[in-house]
Amino acid sequence: MCGIVGILSKNNDDVVSDIINGLEKLEYRGYDSAGVAVVGDGELKRVRTVGKLNNLADKLKVNPVKGGVGIGHTRWATHGKATEENAHPMVTKDVALVHNGIIENYKELKADLLQKGYGFTSQTDSEVAAVYLQMELDSGLSPREAFREMIKAVRGTYAFLAIFKTCPDMIFCARNKSPVAVGFGDNMCVGSDASSISANCSEIVYLDDGDYAEITKDGATFFDSNLNVVEKSRVAVTDDLVNSGKGEYSHYMIKEIMEQPSAIRKTLLGNDVPRDFFKGISRILILACGTSYHAGLVGKYWFEKYLRLPTHVEIASEYRYRSPVIEDNTLALVITQSGETIDTLEAMEYVRRNNVTCKLAAITNVLNSAISRSADFVFHTEAGVEIGVASTKAFTAQLTVLAKLAFSKNPELLNQLQNLPQVCENSLLLKEDIDKIAFKIKDCVNAIYLGRDNLYPIALEGALKLKEISYIHAEGFAAGEMKHGPIALIDDVVPVICLCPSGNMFDKMFSNIQVAQARGKNVIVFTDTTGAESFDGSVEKIVLPSINEELYPILYSIPLQLLAYMVTVLKGEDVDKPRNLAKSVTVE
Ligand code: M6R
């Protein structure tokens, strides 16, 4: 979480507007505060504000700063509230530093620095890194030596960028578990991802954990954790790495919802499952968080039914803290859009450390992410860059990969998958009908989502979508579980959103809906043409196109995304940047 950008102009041109443009691409990583610092005319200058980046841009119009080298930051607060004092860059007399991550030993470092007479102006963990650099400079070390000492002293996760007043032709950067990409082009640049620096560079080097780099006007030198110089391969900046903006849409989320047919089509084209992929595998362990966890839950239904492999799905943040039994010959499959989620990464590494017979595979949407690079085998969802904090197209692309894996021994179902892009395209035409439902439920305080079988995880996902962006409290339940408690929540007001297409579970689900209707007046049913015949006018109906029932989870996700989106628009909330959240969750 937090986004960082640094730019070093080869011609000493002012870099501030390029830094702001880069930060704009990183706001998905956090937007509690933002700031920029430059070295110009031999001085360190900094401007910071609370809130989103446009506040910083406005402040810079009134208090412009200029410099040929600079760093910027957009924050997701961990240590210390979202105040201006806690906004990055952290600045001392001679150093400016931005940080993404958590310095775990900041208390002891701070105590030591305080004892040595150094003062602090923020409550952040990050400030200790800046002050530590200052202490080393004061003791006579060069910026390079000071930076090396600082990364040796801190413990935790970090992406650091630092600039020094006395060294205006360099940026220092380092990585441990938080991403850093160094860009080569008209200017030298460094950022949290390729999008943030793509306007200024054509090639990128990704730092590995423990690496640090010295960036000069002539290029960059990379060092490993033993301070040996390392050669790193450059990758070209291609369209799939770059956020191409909102285009004709008012929000990234709706653009990304609309892109799903193409994301699914592209994902189907790749990701062929190697013939011997499941050879020797006796069970599957899925590790993931949030929406990706919901994709994993769907995977369990499919894997057990079609591969007959016992499948366990675990919340990654819980997994490694409860001494799990990891059985031999397990396929550990991690699912992550960003490929950077620390909980998921650590859970995967835990499996690696504790059972060498396990095969580690990942489904990710970001090539070159930490998890992509660490897994033994990677399936790449071809959803393209996803910016909206609420995951949409990445989710259906994850489900598409899971379906390819689960149906890999079932040619008939693999064939059915080819229908998905068109059917999903048709489901998007329901937007206007869904807008009407959104209008009806926008003022509710609570909402209930019900599904059964492979649509139970989609009920969970639908509820997550609604709550994370509209702030309406929503819960998903297995419809059959309602009678064991949650049914007490039903009254005349609460919307009960039911997923009830025709098929094996229809009769059971239909009965569950009758029970809900007997107690409430606000039942909304997502069904298909055959299913719709059983419902009278006492329920609101959204009628989706027909498809093989194994593929319902992919199709039925889409109208629920549209519903959450529209409710949020009607409520006037910030769809793409919901409060307290960030897209890439790199803190535990
Ligand atoms: O990048 P990941 O898929 O690992 O992210 C996991 C969750 O943080 C993510 O799915 C989150 O729940 C989204 N906000 C859901 O829309």
The confidence score (pLDDT) of residue 245 equals 83
- Of 390, 418, 446, the residue that ends a domain is 418
Report which residue type is found at 97: L
Atom of ligand 1 nearest to the CA of 584: 1
Whether 73 is covered by a domain: the verdict is yes
Long-range contacts of 567-570 (CB under 8 A, 24+ apart): 567/438, 567/441, 567/442, 567/466, 567/470, 567/472, 568/469, 568/470, 569/250, 569/251, 569/438, 570/438, 570/439, 570/442
Whether 582 is covered by a domain: the verdict is no
Q: Which of 558, 560, 513 is nearest to 538 (CA)?
A: 513
Rounded to an integer, what distance in angstroms lies between the CA atom of residue 497 and that of residue 104? 43
From 177, 346, 380, 585, the mutation candidate for ligand 1 (largest count of ligand atoms within 8 A of CB) is 585
Per-residue pLDDT 10s for the chain (588 aa) are 799 999 999 999 999 999 999 999 998 888 899 999 999 999 999 999 999 999 999 999 999 999 999 999 999 888 899 999 999 999 999 999 999 999 999 999 999 999 999 999 999 999 999 999 999 999 999 999 999 999 999 999 999 999 999 999 999 999 998 999 999 999 999 999 988 998 889 999 999 999 999 999 999 999 999 999 999 999 998 877 777 789 999 999 999 999 999 999 999 998 899 999 999 999 999 999 999 999 999 999 999 999 999 999 999 999 999 999 999 999 999 999 999 999 999 999 999 999 999 999 999 999 888 899 999 999 999 999 999 999 999 999 999 999 999 999 999 999 999 999 999 999 999 999 999 999 999 999 999 999 999 999 999 999 999 999 999 999 999 999 999 999 999 999 999 999 999 999 999 999 999 999 999 889 999 999 999 999 998 999 999 999 999 999 999 999 999 999 999 999 999 999 999 898 888 877
Residue 356 exposed, middle or buried by CB count within 10 Å (0-12, 13-18, 19+): exposed
Considering the domain architecture, whether residues 327 and 273 belong to the same structural domain is answered as yes
Q: Which residue has the tokens 């239909």?
A: 510
Q: Whose CA is nearest to atom 11 of ligand 1?
A: 290
The confidence score (pLDDT) of residue 519 equals 92
DSSP-H helix ranges across 43-171:
53-62, 106-115, 127-138, 143-153
> What is the domain-level CATH number for residue 393?
3.40.50.10490
Whether 277 is covered by a domain: the verdict is yes
Considering the domain architecture, whether residues 549 and 458 belong to the same structural domain is answered as yes
Active-site residue list: 2, 583
Alpha carbon of 388 to ligand 1 centroid (Å): 11
Atom of ligand 1 nearest to the CA of 290: 12
Whether 359 is covered by a domain: the verdict is yes
Rounded to an integer, what distance in angstroms lies between the CA atom of residue 479 and that of residue 438? 22
SS3 392: coil
Q: Which residue has the tokens 């999903």?
A: 424
Considering the domain architecture, whether residues 407 and 461 belong to the same structural domain is answered as no
Considering the domain architecture, whether residues 400 and 473 belong to the same structural domain is answered as no
Alpha carbon of 126 to ligand 1 centroid (Å): 25
Rounded to an integer, what distance in angstroms lies between the CA atom of residue 310 and that of residue 285? 9
Whether 584 is covered by a domain: the verdict is no
Considering the domain architecture, whether residues 273 and 387 belong to the same structural domain is answered as yes
Q: Whose CA is nearest to atom 4 of ligand 1?
A: 336
Q: Which two tokens stand for residue 465?
A: 């979508």
Considering the domain architecture, whether residues 412 and 477 belong to the same structural domain is answered as no
Alpha carbon of 387 to ligand 1 centroid (Å): 11
Q: Which of 154, 194, 204, 203 is nearest to 176 (CA)?
A: 154
Whether 583 is covered by a domain: the verdict is no
Alpha carbon of 508 to ligand 1 centroid (Å): 31
With residues binned 3-state (H G I as helix, E B as strand, rest as coil), the percentages for the chain, rounded to 5, are 40, 25, 35
Considering the domain architecture, whether residues 227 and 288 belong to the same structural domain is answered as no
Residue 312 contacts residue 285 (beta carbons within 8 Å): yes
From 338, 378, 402, 574, the mutation candidate for ligand 1 (largest count of ligand atoms within 8 A of CB) is 338
Looking at the 3D structure of the chain, how many domains does it have?
3
Whether 586 is covered by a domain: the verdict is no
Residue 61 exposed, middle or buried by CB count within 10 Å (0-12, 13-18, 19+): exposed
Alpha carbon of 395 to ligand 1 centroid (Å): 9
From 318, 341, 460, 464, the mutation candidate for ligand 1 (largest count of ligand atoms within 8 A of CB) is 341
Q: Whose CA is nearest to atom 7 of ligand 1?
A: 290
Report which residue type is found at 567: V
Alpha carbon of 26 to ligand 1 centroid (Å): 16
Atom of ligand 1 nearest to the CA of 344: 4
- Of 418, 433, 464, the residue that ends a domain is 418
Whether 30 is covered by a domain: the verdict is yes
> What is the domain-level CATH number for residue 70?
3.60.20.10
Alpha carbon of 390 to ligand 1 centroid (Å): 7
From 337, 342, 379, the mutation candidate for ligand 1 (largest count of ligand atoms within 8 A of CB) is 337
Considering the domain architecture, whether residues 231 and 311 belong to the same structural domain is answered as no
The confidence score (pLDDT) of residue 287 equals 98
SS3 185: coil
- Of 210, 241, 272, the residue that ends a domain is 241
Considering the domain architecture, whether residues 435 and 528 belong to the same structural domain is answered as yes
Rounded to an integer, what distance in angstroms lies between the CA atom of residue 65 and that of residue 24? 18
Report which residue type is found at 50: V
Widest distance between CA atoms in the chain:
82
Tell me which residue range forms the domain holding 137. Answer: 3-241
Rounded to an integer, what distance in angstroms lies between the CA atom of residue 498 and that of residue 260? 22
Q: What is the dihedral of CA 365, 457, 405, 193, to 10 degrees?
A: 10
Considering the domain architecture, whether residues 433 and 538 belong to the same structural domain is answered as yes
Considering the domain architecture, whether residues 99 and 169 belong to the same structural domain is answered as yes
Rounded to an integer, what distance in angstroms lies between the CA atom of residue 123 and that of residue 102? 13
Considering the domain architecture, whether residues 414 and 433 belong to the same structural domain is answered as no
Residues with a CB atom less than 6 Å from ligand 1 = 289-292, 336-338, 341, 344, 389-391, 468, 581, 585
Atom of ligand 1 nearest to the CA of 390: 16
Q: What is the tens place of the pLDDT at every residue in 183-208?
A: 999 999 999 998 899 888 999 999 99
